[in-house]
């Protein structure tokens, strides 16, 4: 780990580097939600044990978005939500330059369509790294609306001066998320991406697919964590 950049009191950008970071790390434009699996050192012994190659091991690994990769500098940035409920959240809260982190992946890329008329991005803080990548990478003429399920504006989201409509709703319950999304116009050329707590995302997905009759290929909504459950979730 090379350095820490404080984004807000609840998020830190952790910049990784070192000889093990492969120079051909696959980092594709519009694969905004591509993630790596991370392994944090054992909280008692400080030892870092990577799972055997090919094993997914949902209990010892956690998924995090590849926020930025700089091949020239050999740096990979990951933005962590800081919380004390789990080992990854605690590691990010306390790590200092020189700390070790295991990184595996990314496994495969989902490249999102860049030719839609408009994009609605809905996420809590865990989805902000992907949202910032969308803001940076979508074509300049695309209409982009963002609903952030966290208090704010906590900071200005990166996006190279794009004129996006960004609203910070707070950590509201699923009903309020659906109500806010119901007020957003959606047409045949719309694309909706969502990430956050699994129960909230399930309600959002149901609204989009059933109430708004959106086609599956126009909706990418995924639970990024589950209230009360540890480990990588399969959603």
Ligand X SMILES: Cc1cc2nc3c(=O)[nH]c(=O)nc-3n(C[C@H](O)[C@H](O)[C@H](O)COP(=O)(O)OP(=O)(O)OC[C@H]3O[C@@H](n4cnc5c(N)ncnc54)[C@H](O)[C@@H]3O)c2cc1C
Residue 105 binds to ligand X (criterion: CB under 6 A): no
Residue 85 binds to ligand X (criterion: CB under 6 A): yes
Residue 227 binds to ligand X (criterion: CB under 6 A): yes
Instruction: List the one residue out of 116, 126, 166 whose CA is nearest residue 33.
Output: 126
CB of 35 to ligand X, least distance (A): 4
Question: The dihedral of CA 122, 219, 158, 80: what is its sign?
Answer: positive
Size of the site for ligand X (CB under 6 A): 24
> Which residues, 6+ apart, have CB-to-CB distance to 85 below 8 Å?
none
| Contact mark string toward ligand X, 114..133, x via CB under 6 A | ------------x--x----
**Cross-strand partners of 120:** 145, 192
Alpha carbons within 13 angstroms on the beta-carbon side of residue 230 total: 11
CB of 229 to ligand X, least distance (A): 6
Region near ligand X per CB under 6 A, out of 138-146, 148-156, 172-180, 222-230: 222-230
Helix H or strand E segment including 92: helix 87-94
Q: What is the DSSP letter of 125?
A: G
Q: Which residue is nearest to ligand X (CB)?
A: 86
Region near ligand X per CB under 6 A, out of 82-90, 150-158, 159-167, 186-194: 82-90
CB of 7 to ligand X, least distance (A): 11
Residue 81 binds to ligand X (criterion: CB under 6 A): yes
Long-range contacts of 179-185 (CB under 8 A, 24+ apart): 180/147, 181/120, 181/122, 181/147, 181/207, 181/208, 182/207, 182/211, 184/120, 184/145, 184/147
| Contact mark string toward ligand X, 43..62, x via CB under 6 A | -------------------x
By CB under 6 A, name the binding residues for ligand X. Answer: 35, 62-65, 79-81, 83, 85-89, 126, 129, 224-231
């Amino acid at each position: 780990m090379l350095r820490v950049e404080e984004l807000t009191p609840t998020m830190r950008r952790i910049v990784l580097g070192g000889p093990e970071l492969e120079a051909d790390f696959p980092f594709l434009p519009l694969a905004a939600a591509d993630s790596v699996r991370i392994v944090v050192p054992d909280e008692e012994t400080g030892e870092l044990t990577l799972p055997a190659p090919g094993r997914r091991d949902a209990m010892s690994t956690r998924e995090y978005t590849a926020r930025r990769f700089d091949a020239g500098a050999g740096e990979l940035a990951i933005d962590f939500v800081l919380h004390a409920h789990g080992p990854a959240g605690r590691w990010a809260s306390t790590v200092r330059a020189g700390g070790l982190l295991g990184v595996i992946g990314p496994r495969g890329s989902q490249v999102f369509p860049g030719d839609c008329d408009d994009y609605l991005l809905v996420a809590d803080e865990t989805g902000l790294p992907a949202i910032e990548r969308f803001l940076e990478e979508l074509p300049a003429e695309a209409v982009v609306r963002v609903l952030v399920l966290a208090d704010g504006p906590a900071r200005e989201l990166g996006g190279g001066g794009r004129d996006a409509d960004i609203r910070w709703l707070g950590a509201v319950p699923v009903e309020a998320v659906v109500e806010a999304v119901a007020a957003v116009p959606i047409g045949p050329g719309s694309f909706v991406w969502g990430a956050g707590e699994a129960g909230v995302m399930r309600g959002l997905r149901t609204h989009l697919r059933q109430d708004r009759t959106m086609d599956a290929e126009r909706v990418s909504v995924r639970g990024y964590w589950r209230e009360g459950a540890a480990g990588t979730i399969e959603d």
